Structure formats: structure tokens, C-alpha cells
A and B are shown apart, each in its own frame.
Chain A
């Protein structure tokens, strides 16, 4: 079997006494889309945040493209990386949040260009051209000069996707990117994500949009109470789940 692009091994995370993730192990192959489903509070967001190192794991390890995240093995011990090293590792992952989190004091274009110019120190002119291309790619070429407050939710989320892509990430993480949107705006964001999947971006997507998962996902993972209960191709997990908990969850979502 080829080396997985993302390898999550025996990851556990507790907040105080509460065990949010318990022994989670997972592989994502390069160019694949993995959809994470599960009830609220089952640990999906926490898992994504561990991969992006917004949360530090208690046990286990996460490898991205062969690199161990957040730690280094030296003389038989684990050493936690410093903030600068962690910031550098984050450059290879893009994250899209449920609540967009665009920078409200910057225009759409400035939001997209901020990371490449300020963090990657690329030339402003070249970045601007690329940022405009990205905005065009998410269908917002004419909104470059708008502030987030002048955009609809769906438009804001598309800018957020462009902002993440501007860092040229190798992996994209989506945390319920459409659940803060009015129903009629969900489609435009999903369309951008489908286009991204077709271009072979490796993606981990937390979503309740089962139609999207069925159409785009290579694998679907069902989580409950901080554990992976079931995983497999969408046809199996979504249509013919083995586990009773998965069945119960799916019938609740579809009801």
C-alpha cells in the first residue's frame, strides 16, 4: 500500500476530565476526500483542530506527507516543537471554519493576500494577481474590493476558501463549512468544494451534507463520543452501515 498523505495514529485528547478523542487512527491518501460525520460533540472539530495544531494532542501522532506534526523524536524522546516551527508546519494545511472568520477590517482581496504577503513574504504584485485569480475561481472576481460585512454568508465562505488556498496548502480542512449558511447559499459553497476535489486537492471535510459526501467523498468516517465507529466508501457507510449507531445517526439526519 502506498504511504498515506495524512496518517493519524492512536490520537487521544482530553479537555480536563472529558475525553474528546480516544485512540483515533485514520489514513487519508493523497488527492482523496475524506468526509467526517457524527453527532454534535462527537469530536469532529477537535480532530480537525489537532491536524491543524490549534489543539495539542495528548497521545499518539499525526504525520503529514511523512512529517510528524508538532513534535520531534530525538534520543528516544519526544520534543515539542516551538511556536515558529509549528507555524511553519501549519503552512501546508488550509483551514475553513464554520463561522468563516474572515478578517473584517480587510477587503476580500486583502484577506486572500494577507498570508502570502505577510507570512510567506512573497512579492505583493505577484500575490495580488494570484489572489484575484483565486477570487475568480470561487466566483467572486467582482467582489475583490468588498469588506466581509458587504458580502453574503456564502460569499464570505468562498472568500475564506480562497484565503486558505492562497497559501498553496497540500491539505484542506473544512469544519462544517455550510452549517452557518442560509439553505439557498449552501450550494454555491459546495460547488467550489466539488471543483476543488476534482482538482485532486486532499481534503478532510466535516459535514452534515450527506449528498455532498455521497457524491464527492472517497471515504466516509462516522464518529461518536470521540471514537471512530465506522469507516469506508460512502456507498457502504451511508447506504448500508454495519453499526447500529451509524444507522441511528443517519436516520436522525435524514428525518
Chain B
């Protein structure tokens, strides 16, 4: 049985150790690359010959109205996403709570805001004055809804609360992905339910939820364009205002498109940084 040094090897198998490995021709890759280059050339030709004044695109890319617009877009995306994440975490914790009332409220919130279009929610917030002319805390403070529900606040509430409904589902999935043994170990050292979630479960869930949240943030950057319908001066709104005046519709839409692409591209390295931060200890060699 035991293969000792005296074992005889069968003949007829040549020694391959001296031969070099030949390069493989990857025909599929070459064909695909060629087709794509052709398609791009055709597209470039179409745009070059089309009715686009590229000089306008360059000129309007950095005019103050557009720059203000993109700043407003980024501010709204960050603020609404922050509100969405706070709401999402709270609602996810409620949905996983042992208290049936909290669970039902959280479920109802998700159902309501996921079930209606964002643009409808934005219009409702903006027109809140039609339902509640005066809003406030009785005896403490009150104000006219028309003054209060500015485009900024309406957009923030509309986008943020809608985002919270989606984020809560992402957070819940992340929390459920953490091994129950973690929760038990936290309980065993005397942690309360909430402290165990905050110190042990959520930090581990973060690693799982950052990629989908990055996705959600990218959607949010683009979703802010819906706020143009309630007069929030984000970049698409600025572009529209300019082309109403000078009729350079396509050029200004391209300007807005370039800016959206720029902002979204800047998010990717940011996401990678966050992912690395929350992967601490979870890969073999991180320090």
C-alpha cells in the first residue's frame, strides 16, 4: 500500500516541465471590442453632425446658475439620504422589536411610502397648506404652512421620508444577516436589546448594507431632479430655466447630465473607503 521510494512509475508520460505556455487567442474578446469601437464611432459621428452646439455645452458647464444648481443637488441628496438612513435604522429596529405595536407602525410606514410615487409625495408636502393652513405645536409655536413648506423643506421631507422606507428594508436585511450567536453573546454580557443592536449588531450589519446603500445614494442623487417640479433650484431646474431663455435645450440637458455623472463618479471611491472601514476585523489580514 505505502508508496515507498522503490515504487516503479509507469512509462509513456513525457516530461512537460521544459515547455513554455502558449498565449491563447481570445477571439471573442477581440470581436466584442471591435464591435463596440465601431458602435462608438457611429455614435460620435451622429453627435458631431447632429444639431448640437458643443461650444454652448462648454460655456454653460460652469456658469453660476448651473454651479449653484449642482451644489443644491448635492446638498439635497446628502440631507435627504441622511434623513433616510436615520429613519431607516429606526424603522428597521422597530420592525425587529418584540413589541407588536412598533412592528405594525413600522410595517405601515414602509407600505405607505413605498406604495406611492415619490413625485406625488413631493407634491403633497409642497401643497400641505391646502390641507393644514396652520401647522405647529399647540400652545408653543405655530406658523402658516405656505411660509413653512419651502421647496427645500418639502423636497427634504418628500425624498427623505420616502428613502427611509427603502433604507429600512436594507437595514433590516443587514441586521438579519448577523449570526444570532452575536446577539446571545451580547445578552450574556448583560447588554440590553438596544445596546446589543447599537454596539454589536448594527456595526456588523453596516458591512453588508454599504453596497446597497451606495446604490440607493446614487438613485437619490438622480431622484433630486424630481424636486424641480416643486421649484427646488437643483441642477436640472437651473438647466431648464436657462434653456427656456435661450432655447439651447439639448446642450443644457447635456450639461446637467455631465454634472450628474461627475457627482455619481465621485461617490464610488467614497463607498470603497467606507467599505474598508466597516470590514475591520472581518477579513483575515486587516489591522
Contact = CB atoms under 8 A, between A and B. Distances in A.
A103 B184 CA distance: 11
Given A104-B282, A149-B282, A97 B181 contact: yes
Nearest to B193: A83
Nearest to B178: A104
B159 to A, nearest CB: 31
Interface string B195-209: 100011001100000
B179 to A, nearest CB: 8
Contacts, number: 79
B188 A54 contact: yes
Contacts of B199: 114, 118
Contacts of A120: 190
Contacts of A54: 184, 187-188
Contacts of B181: 97, 99, 101
Contacts of A150: 284-285
A118 B195 contact: yes
Interface string B52-87: 000000000000000000000000000000000000
Interface string A103-116: 11111000000110
A77 interface: no
A129 B144 CA distance: 59
Given A97-B184, A118-B195, A91 B190 contact: yes
A101 B179 CA distance: 9
Interface string B256-287: 00000000000000000000001011111110
Given A101-B185, A119-B195, A87 B190 contact: yes
Nearest to A99: B181
B190 A90 contact: yes
Nearest to B278: A105
A210 B193 CA distance: 37
Query: Contact size class for A?
Result: 20 to 34
A95 interface: yes
Interface in B185-239: 185-193, 195, 199-200, 203-204
A52 B188 CA distance: 7
A176 to B, nearest CB: 13
Interface string A55-70: 0000000000000000
Nearest to B198: A118
Given A97-B181, A99-B181, A119-B195, A148 B189 contact: no
A167 B189 contact: yes
A88 B190 contact: yes
Contacts of A52: 188
A247 B72 CA distance: 78
Max chain B C-beta neighbours (<10 A), residue from A88, A94, A104: A104
Given A105-B280, A114-B199, A119 B191 contact: yes
A204 B276 CA distance: 41
Chain A to chain B: the 6 pairs with minimum beta-carbon distance, closest first = A147-B281, A115-B189, A101-B185, A95-B188, A101-B181, A119-B190
Interface of A: 52, 54, 83-84, 87-88, 90-91, 93-95, 97, 99, 101-107, 114-115, 118-120, 147-150, 160, 163-164, 167
Given A87-B191, A93-B188, A150-B284, 13 more contacts: A54-B184, A83-B193, A84-B192, A97-B184, A101-B181, A103-B200, A118-B191, A119-B189, A119-B191, A149-B281, A149-B283, A150-B285, A164-B188
